[in-house]
Amino acid sequence: MAEQFDIHDAKTNLSRIIERVEQGEEFDRILVAQARCEELTLVTRDPYCLRYEVDSLRC
């Protein structure tokens, strides 16, 4: 299961999270977390992102 971050974790540990992304971890999880926390709609072509509980539009 993918590790989840809330907005506080993301703000507090941003440099560590970016480091993990640069090492090849999935960037989509960060986008999904931000969309959920800020009540945004995620627009994506990636069907993997649509598995998360987030408002999304497939383009």
Within a domain: 1: no
* Count helices and strands in the chain by DSSP H and E runs: 3, 2
Does pTM top 0.85 for this prediction?
A: no
Q: Identify whether 46 is part of a domain.
A: yes
What is the domain range of residue 45?
7-58
Size of the chain, expressed as the number of residues it contains: 59
Per-residue pLDDT of 13-51, as tens digits, reads 778 777 776 665 567 777 888 888 888 888 888 777 777
- Check residue 4 and give its pLDDT: 74
**pLDDT at position 36, please?**
86
What's the structural domain count of the chain?
1
Burial-class residue 15 by CB neighbours within 10 Å (0-12, 13-18, 19+): exposed
